[in-house]
Amino acid sequence: MASETNLPLLSNFSISNFAEQPLSRYNTNDTALGSYNHQVVSEAINSCQESPSNNHAGIITPEQDHMQNHSASIHTYMVLNKDKEVVFETKNHAIFKIIGSLCRKDVIRRLEYFYPLIEGEYTISIENILHYRKRINDISDAIKSHVEKLSNIRNYETAFMCKLIKKFRSKALFIFHTKNCPMIYCKPIFLLLPLWIESTIQNELTLAKHLFNVSLILNVTKTLMKYNYECLKPSIDQSLKRNMQLGFLYHFRGNKELFYHHFNLIMEFFGDIFTILGREAYYKIFKLHTDSEFLVNNCDNAFLFTLAHFEITAILFDVFILLSKENFDFLHSIINDYEVLKESQENKDLKFLNYMEKMLDEEGYSMSENIRKVFYDLASIYGKLFQEKGYCDFIQNPFSLNFKLWFRENMAGLRRMLLRNIVPKYFDIRNFLTSCNIFLNYICKVTLNPDITPIGFEDILSEKIFRFLQVKNFK
């Protein structure tokens, strides 16, 4: 077993009390697995020695095993590799059995066996998390090969795929709505990824079989996000004690290598999701606006009283993943045009953000119907977030109620204009989108990250939103 000193500082991971907990054992494939308060599976061998006996030992019988989350509140289950290092930790026994079977290369005969990967409320902890990319890939590849094999053997009909989507919708859509997560603080788009996954699969049901793998990857990335905060927390606590007004830029600069290393690993996992679903073009755009300079500027600009010079670009890339196919294809085409321009000597220094700013300015809006469609689509995305998906419900106070009322009135005004074929004024729709984006940033930076955002920064965001709520657009 891995030593205690190598364990990550995760709130849901503790080894100190293991010896005081009762022993539970179970047999699978004639393999006896046991330890103090945790079950162990090895990748390399089909049997493990049992831990020393314990007076409180108990048995998990087959009858007990089918019960919903039988021992989730008592036991921690760990999957080890051949070197006895922790690869996965979960408090969900069903998840443990699945991962253990995949590690042992056991035969899995029905896709239904993978249900807990979608529906289980579980956590995964990965020891020394930055070094386990290959381990996770191996398990992910095993899931993929099992799913493909079983799909070819048995015809899983539309009803089965719809059931998978329903399970995903009920369990995974809000997986990243968690407190104190610097990644969410930096990029609101992380909150929207599960919505995009649901929409993508809803439009192409055959992709639903990949939800087992996608759900696992989402949980791994959530664990990495939590781990990132645990690593940054001492620095954040110390800096806030010295100066309550220090923003994220200060924390980022002080921990840039660590933070960005974690961020890049998360991006790799998201790349796996885009690849699994056959949407590599989304990942290409995702990476374009996630360099360290953009992350820091995007965070700090949210707290400026004045509009940042590329704010409309930041607004677009905070939610672009939910654009309609038509508008996404257009966005993809203008990015391809940028790459062609960059190849010429005269444009070698052309910055991507400057290029996008020019495309999305008042002249571009007035001259291009495609640009206007992108603006209208951005408004509809916020309509989905704030009216259909309940993103306003994170904040239960008069502030949120006022925003809901303002949003509903302005959205109705925009729809009336579009129905009458009236082109909204550029600064009306830009101000509307800016207001919506600031509220989304309020959710990400204040509501979901209360221990990262100083009170002074919270006041700035609140004041900005209050000012925008005084303006009725689309008259």
> What is the mean pLDDT of each successive set of 10 residues along the chain, which is 475 residues long?
31 26 28 33 31 27 36 69 77 87 83 87 69 82 90 85 91 84 84 94 93 92 85 74 65 74 87 94 85 66 62 88 96 94 90 89 96 98 87 69 89 96 95 91 87 80 87 88
**Inside any domain, residue 187:** no
Instruction: Please indicate, yes or no, whether residues 124 and 240 belong to a single structural domain of this protein.
Output: no
Task: Tell me, yes or no, whether 227 and 139 share the same domain.
Answer: no
Residues 248 and 141 both lie in one domain: no
Q: Rounded to an integer, what distance in angstroms lies between the CA atom of residue 126 and that of residue 267? A: 17
Kindly compute the dihedral angle of the four CA atoms of residues 250, 256, 259, 262, in this order, to the nearest 10 degrees: 160
Within-domain flag for 25: yes
Confirm whether 209 is domain-assigned: no
> Is 150 in the same domain as 240?
no
Domain assignment of residue 446, yes or no: yes
Which residue pairs from 457-464 have beta carbons closer than 8 angstroms and sit at least 24 positions apart in sequence? Answer: 457/245, 457/247, 457/303, 460/303, 460/304, 460/305, 461/302, 461/303, 462/399, 463/305, 464/305, 464/438
Query: 347 and 237 in one domain?
Result: yes
pLDDT of residue 247: 65
Amino acid code (one letter) for 392: C
257 and 402 co-located in one domain: yes
Whole-angstrom distance between the N-terminal and C-terminal Cα of the chain? 67
Residue bearing tokens 């053997």: 153
pTM: 0.81
pLDDT of residue 381: 96
- Same-domain status, 114 and 231: no
- Per-residue pLDDT at 273: 95
Which of 138, 155, 172 terminates a domain? The answer is 155
pLDDT value at position 72? 41
Q: Of 155, 185, 206, which residue constitutes the final position of a domain?
A: 155
135 falls within a domain: yes
On whether residue 474 sits in a domain, the answer given is no
Measure the CA–CA gap between 225 and 236, rounded to whole angstroms: 15
Question: Rounded CA gap, 374 and 226, in Å?
Answer: 34
Is 302 found in the same domain as 411?
A: yes
- For residue 342, what are its two tokens? 């960059």
Domain boundary among 155, 170, 189: 155
Count: domains in the chain: 2
Q: Tell me: do 262 and 400 sit in the same domain.
A: yes
Return the pLDDT at 368: 96
Tally of CB atoms within 10 A around 133: 14
pLDDT at 263: 84
What gap in Å lies between CA 206 and CA 157, rounded to an integer?
9
Residues 24 and 137 in one domain: yes
In this structure, the answer to whether residues 426 and 277 fall within a common structural domain is yes
Range of the domain at 50: 4-155
Helical pair 398-419 and 455-469, crossing angle rounded to 10 deg = 40
Burial 26-35 (b: 16+ CB within 10 A, else e): bebeebebbb
Indicate whether 212 belongs to any domain: no
Q: Same domain, yes or no, for 42 and 147?
A: yes
Q: Does residue 101 fall inside a structural domain?
A: yes
Please enumerate in sequence order all residues whose Cβ is within 8 A of that of 239, keeping only pairs 6 or more positions apart, or say none. Answer: 246, 250, 251, 254
